Amino acid sequence: MNIQWFPGHMAKARRQVTEKIKLVDIVFELVDARIPLSSRNPILDEIIGEKPRVIILNKSDLADPIQTKKWVAYFNEQGIAAVPIVAQEGKGMKQLMEKAKEILQPKFDRRAAKGIKPRAIRAMSIGIPNVGKSTLINRFIKKNVAITGNKPGVTKAQQWLKLGKELELLDTPGILWPKFEDPAVGEKLALTGAIKDTILQMDEIAMYGIGIMKTYYPETFAKRFLLTKEELELGTPELLMLISERRGFREDYSRAAEMLIYEIRSGKAGRFTLDIAPVSLPKE
């Protein structure tokens, strides 16, 4: 599957982020906890440079918890702080602020030594579409100011938001990169909803999702769709047809594919992580 998507507003957003990053103390880089590597825009390292950052693994309630722990350990090994959160429910927000304060404490201590009055942390929220940047902001300020939506590309412009006395946050539009060198990255982004469905072949994405779930998370997948062990051995096209029939879609495989993708994305078919962390957790 060859997926390409780089609309003009993303190129503009990249230029704006590059211009504004010097104004912030720290970068909040949001990733999807189900694809912590594939949802990291490779051009962001160049843009962020040496600026302090926290990688925020959002939607961690939908991800494999063991893999999430491994990804936090991996990023820490790389010298990057990482915090899993569930922005929709506000889980992990306190830990995120504590981590940001910890990272920036030496900077603010130096400012205090020079007699400079303390001020709020200035942060930039950055990441690809549909990782939850707007939802994160709404949880910080406890009311709906940033526009949210379960589809990529909702935030179209940069905006500064004052979040109490502790934080000033610059929200930015989601930025995808021009080309997915690895087709698997495009498939992972498509399955988790980072790419607009209107440019996708939904049946192909559904079959990709079936292949992943039946291979790595067969128990939860089988339970959701009432599949036997023998049925799990069927090919992905046959499984899509079977699930379509059982859900009452008959031969409307397009609707069945949309339903199946929704249930995988929303966690109804079980928690999953598509990127496997290159690190082992220490034995307890």
Dihedral Cα 276, 278, 282, 89, nearest 10 deg: -50
Q: Is residue 130 annotated as involved in ligand binding?
A: yes
Q: Is residue 131 annotated as involved in ligand binding?
A: yes
48: Cβ contacts below 8 Å, ≥ 6 apart? 21, 27, 29, 126
Q: Is residue 27 annotated as involved in ligand binding?
A: no
Strand extents, DSSP E, the chain: 26-32, 53-58, 81-84, 121-127, 159-163, 167-171
Q: Is residue 61 annotated as involved in ligand binding?
A: yes
Q: Is residue 186 annotated as involved in ligand binding?
A: no
211: Cβ contacts below 8 Å, ≥ 6 apart? 236
Contact call for residues 93 and 140 (beta carbons, < 8 A): yes
Percentages (nearest 5) of helix, strand, coil residues in the chain: 45, 15, 40
164: Cβ contacts below 8 Å, ≥ 6 apart? 120, 141
Q: Is residue 59 annotated as involved in ligand binding?
A: yes
Q: Is residue 164 annotated as involved in ligand binding?
A: no
Contact call for residues 37 and 184 (beta carbons, < 8 A): no
Q: Is residue 138 annotated as involved in ligand binding?
A: no
CA–CA gap between residue 87 and residue 233 (Å, rounded)? 37
- Residues belonging to the binding site are 58-61, 130-135, 174
Report the binding-site residues for GTP: 58-61, 130-135, 174
